[in-house]
Amino acid sequence: MTDVPADPSSGARRVGRTAPEPDASRTGSGAGDPVGATPGDERTESDDSAVTSGVGRVDSDPAGSAAEHGGAVDGASDNTTVPGDTDSTDADSTDAGSADTDSTAVPGDADSADVAGDGAERDAGGEAAVPGGDVWERRVADGLAFLRRRITGDYPVDDFGFDPELTEQVLARSLRPLYRKWFRVEVSGLANVPSDGAALLVGNHSGTIAMDGMMLQLALLDEHPAHRHLRLLGADFIFRTPVLSEFARKSGATLACNPDAERMLREGEIVGVFPEGFKGVGKRFADRYKLQRFGRGGFVSAALRTGTPIVPVSIVGAEEIYPLIGDIKPLARLLGIPYFPVTPLFPWLGPLGLVPLPSKWLIDFGDPIDTSALDVDPDDPMDVFGLADQVRETIQQTLHRLLLRRGTTF
């Protein structure tokens, strides 16, 4: 709770702080040549928003006169930066950017905006979307502000190296088309993931390449009402591998070990773990949807020690993206990787074989297991294995149910 929600908000605040600069220059240029043909159009727009947002700005209204008109425009454009900001950040987090999801981004961004301002903003946002010009202008400004922060190194990361800005602006954006259009992920049971505080998400692992982790992360970021960041736990192989290790840390992952898991849970994070590990992700296509052994049950003791709920997560669809039909073991040993996958398309088609098959995905978040209410000793292996098996059984049964619901694979 302490780090991550603080980070995005501070990042958002930073956006707010840098955005007024270009905006100020914009009003300057707008006031500078009021006789120009196009600026006139801009002025009517901002006047419109001045009317709508005027409801919220009681204090600026009494000053209204011809001389103060400039001030009103100033105030209005000042106000329009807020919907613009929320609009563009919203477009970041949900690409489809429908009008009703606007309101979700507003509370995080505009601390000072009251309810009336909220309504006015939404109006102004709707209006701004029609002409299209201002939106692009703001996107250019936002993009530049983003680039500036990246070039000067002026962005926050938490102690694990999680870079919320990069995750939201770059990684999530590049995966979103895959999530929406390619796998058409359907999510159920999101209410089982708390909006506030820690939870340990335990899922089934599959798909040759761990795409399920990324899709699960995006599901929580986009579809959960609190837009929560999932902090995945990864094998040491990931943190040994160049490039992979860099992006794993920046996207919020850390090594699957008890100290890290417990630290994150104590900080109130949503932590995700795939206890099957490489046994799950690297299993043959013939064994699809058969859960493998659940490691050493370390995740159970982490949840027990921190008193966090365990949420079983069942993922259907990842099994079919790269059907693993073989494993070239000598090549894997040579390259130092856990397995060298052979799929119907890879390596035969070269890079083209890396395109995942467009299977239909279902992700279900099951009923949470309240570990704080259990009378279980985290240091008693029998208790730990018992609880791990219970989670495993739940996921296995849900998988069968989801498979029936899905029907055809694609």
Partner 1 sequence: MSHPRTVLVTGVSRYFAAQAAGRLAADARVDRVLGVDVAEPTGELTELLGRAEFVRADISSPAIASLIEDAAVDTVAHLAVVAGPGGAGGRDAMKELNVIGTLQLLAACQRSKTVRHLVVRSSTAAYGASPRDPAIFTEDTGLRALPRGGYAKDIVEIEGYVRGFRRRRPDVSVTVLRFAPFVGSRADTTLTRYFSLPLVPTVLGHDPRVQFVHADDAIEVLCRAVVEDHPGAYNVAGPGVLLLSQAVRRAGRVPVPVPDPGMTAVARLARRSGLVDFSLDQLDFLVHGRVVDVRRLVDDFGYEPRSTPVAFDDFITGHGMGAPVSPGSVDSVERTLASGGRALVAGLRGLLRGGGAE
Task: Provide the binding-site residues for partner 1, judged by CB under 8 A.
Answer: 21-22, 25-26, 29, 37-39, 41, 131, 133, 136-137, 140-141, 144-145, 147-148, 151-155, 157-161, 163, 236, 239-246, 249-250, 254-255, 257, 259-260, 263
Can you say how many angstroms the Cα of residue 341 is from the centroid of all Cα atoms in its chain? 28
Question: For 363, phi and psi rounded to 5 degrees?
Answer: -120, 125
CB 310 within 8 A of CB 368: yes
Overall size of the chain counted in residues: 410
Both tokens assigned to 177: 């088309």
Q: Which is nearer to partner 1, 187 or 244 (CB)?
A: 244
Could you tell me whether strands 326-327 and 254-255 are parallel, antiparallel, or unpaired per DSSP bridges?
Answer: unpaired
d(CA 97, CA 43): 25
Other beta carbons within 10 Å of 286 = 9
Torsion of CA 205, 211, 216, 222, to 10 degrees: -170
CB of 22 to partner 1, least distance (A): 5
Buried b / exposed e over 28-42, threshold 16 CB at 10 Å, is eebeeeeeeeeeeeb
> What DSSP element (H or E) covers 168?
none
Residue 254's DSSP bridge partners are: 233
Alpha helices in 19-132 (DSSP H): 20-32, 37-54, 69-93, 102-109, 115-129
**Rounded alpha-carbon distances, angstroms, from residue 280 to 34, 134, 207, 247, 275:** 65, 49, 8, 22, 8
**Rounded alpha-carbon distances, angstroms, from residue 365 to 31, 241, 281, 385:** 54, 31, 19, 21
d(CA 258, CA 301): 8
CB of 109 to partner 1, least distance (A): 21
Question: Residue 196: exposed, middle, or buried by beta-carbon count in 10 A (0-12, 13-18, 19+)?
Answer: exposed
- Radius of gyration in angstroms for the set of CA atoms belonging to the chain, rounded to a whole number: 25
Other beta carbons within 10 Å of 237 = 14
Q: Which is nearer to partner 1, 236 or 380 (CB)?
A: 236
d(CA 182, CA 301): 37
